[in-house]
């Protein structure tokens, strides 16, 4: 895994048209980004398409990156996630019932609580997520990691749509308050 500094240098080189740097960046990040996309799209062919689209955009818009946008990895994750979410819609966006989500961990277990520990931001996020009600935390994680809509989260957790919406809305408010402390 490349360090954030290496990724930053590679991105600078890509902005100058350096193909070798582009391939290095791809090799260093594509397995993580493919996983991110696959969690949302749940089909390998779609996830591959999203990965391709995102990297082609990276090649053309490397010079748009600035450190104000967060780390390079953070920027890449956004690129892949947004492309994957857009594809959910363009690929038909069929509403998934709870029975159509075989790959998700059972709604009863705690498996969704991914342990965050690598960076300062991650530690802070973990602490703030822990302050939320479990159902609120789970709703936010389902939406973010698996790209579930409010409807899908509601079906998955067997909770009323209005309840899920209000959990997520209030959960994001609390999260922001905590993250800014």
Which residues form the interface with another protein (CB under 8 A)? Answer: 19, 23, 26, 30-36, 38-40, 44, 48, 51-52, 55-56, 59, 68-70, 73-74, 77-78, 81, 85-86, 88-89, 93, 114-116, 118-119, 121-122, 124-125, 140-141, 143-145, 147, 149-150, 168-169, 172-173, 175-176, 179
Buried-state track 89-122, b at ≥16 Cβ within 10 A, e below 16: eeeeeeebeeeebeebeebeeeebeeeeeeeeee
Which is nearer to another protein, 77 or 155 (by Cβ)?
77
Residue of 24, 25, 22, 44 whose CA lies nearest to 34:
44
Smallest separation (angstroms) from another protein to the CB of 149: 6
For 86, 114, 126, 143, the CA distances from 117, given in Å and listed in that order, are 30, 10, 8, 21
* 30 vs 135 by CB, closer to another protein: 30
CB of 30 to another protein, least distance (A): 4
First-to-last alpha carbon distance for the chain, in angstroms, is: 31
The answer to whether 74 and 119 are in contact (CB under 8 A) is: no
* Shortest CB 108 distance to another protein, Å: 20
Residue 6 vs 34, nearer CB to another protein: 34
Of the pair 122, 160, the CB lying nearest another protein is at 122
Cβ nearer to another protein, comparing 124 with 135 = 124
Min dist. Cβ of residue 9 to another protein (A): 20
The nearest distance, CB 163 to another protein, in angstroms, is 14
**By the 8 A CB rule, do 126 and 140 touch?**
no
Q: What is the DSSP letter of 70?
A: -
């Amino acid at each position: 895994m490349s360090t954030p500094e290496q990724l930053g240098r590679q991105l600078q080189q890509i902005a100058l048209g350096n193909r070798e740097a582009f391939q290095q960046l791809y090799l260093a990040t594509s397995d993580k980004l493919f996983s991110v996309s696959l969690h949302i799209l749940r089909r390998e062919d779609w996830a591959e398409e999203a990965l391709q689209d995102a990297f082609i955009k990276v090649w053309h818009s490397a010079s748009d990156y600035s450190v104000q946008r967060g780390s390079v990895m953070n920027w890449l994750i956004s690129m892949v996630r947004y492309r994957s979410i857009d594809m959910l819609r363009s690929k038909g966006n069929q509403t998934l019932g709870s029975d159509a989500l075989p790959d998700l961990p059972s709604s009863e277990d705690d498996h969704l609580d991914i342990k965050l520990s690598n960076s300062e931001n991650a530690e802070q996020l973990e602490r703030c997520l822990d302050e939320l009600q479990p159902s609120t935390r789970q709703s936010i994680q389902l939406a973010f990691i698996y790209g579930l809509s409010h409807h899908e989260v509601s079906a998955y957790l067997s909770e009323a749509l209005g309840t899920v919406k209000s959990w997520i809305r209030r959960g994001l408010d609390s999260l922001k308050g905590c993250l800014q402390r």
